Amino acid sequence: MTTDAPFQLDGFLAFRLARAASEVSQRLSKAYAGFDLDVPQWRVLATIADRAPVTAQDIVASTRTHKSTISRAVRKLTERGWIERVRSNEDGRAWALQFTSKGEARFEELLPLVRGFEREMERELGREALLALQAGLDGLETVLDVGWS
């Protein structure tokens, strides 16, 4: 480059976020390798675990994942017998999603692994960096209006 300071990809927030997110996500996926879950499926399960019964639309809204992606994740989990769908009483277009007993059992095997990963990452980060990261994400979520459902 000639004009201005040389552009430093490494100092660029969007890039740092993307790289960190992809690295963390890749490592996390190793924690639940063997369960044959992809990220959207994991998000569906976690949302159901948090506040079943939910609709696909609820999951779309709270995870900001595209509705076609959620739709396909729901289909796979239904086919695998982890979750079941019941037509919503309030809205005949929507489906209420909840675990089957098999799905709940699998999720409870899975959860400690994921929690372990999170705790280990927090431990490695150390208290100070963890608090900074959380505060930074709080601010970012406010700016992006991507927050607490």
**Euclidean distance between CA atoms 29 and 104, whole angstroms:** 19
* Coil/strand/helix, residue 145: coil
Is residue 27 involved in binding DNA (CB under 7 A)?
no
97 by Cβ neighbours in 10 Å (0-12 / 13-18 / 19+) ranks as: buried
For residue 107 the two structure tokens come to 């999720």
Please count the residues of this chain forming the interface with a copy of itself, following the rule CB under 8 A.
Answer: 67
Q: Which does 77 bind (CB under 5 to 8 A by kind): DNA, a copy of itself, none?
A: none
What are phi and psi for residue 86, nearest 5 degrees? -130, 135
Q: Which residues ranging from 41 to 100 are in contact with a copy of itself (CB under 8 A)?
A: 43, 46-47, 49-51, 62-64
Is residue 93 involved in binding DNA (CB under 7 A)?
yes
Name the strand (E) or helix (H) holding 54. Answer: none
Query: Is the CB of residue 96 less than 8 Å from the CB of residue 58?
Result: no
Is residue 45 involved in binding DNA (CB under 7 A)?
no
Is residue 69 involved in binding DNA (CB under 7 A)?
yes
Among 44, 45, 48, 74, binds DNA (CB under 7 A): 74
Residues making contact with a copy of itself (CB under 8 A) = 1-4, 6-10, 12-25, 27-28, 39, 43, 46-47, 49-51, 62-64, 104, 107-108, 111, 114-115, 117-118, 121-122, 124-126, 128-130, 132-141, 143-144, 146-149
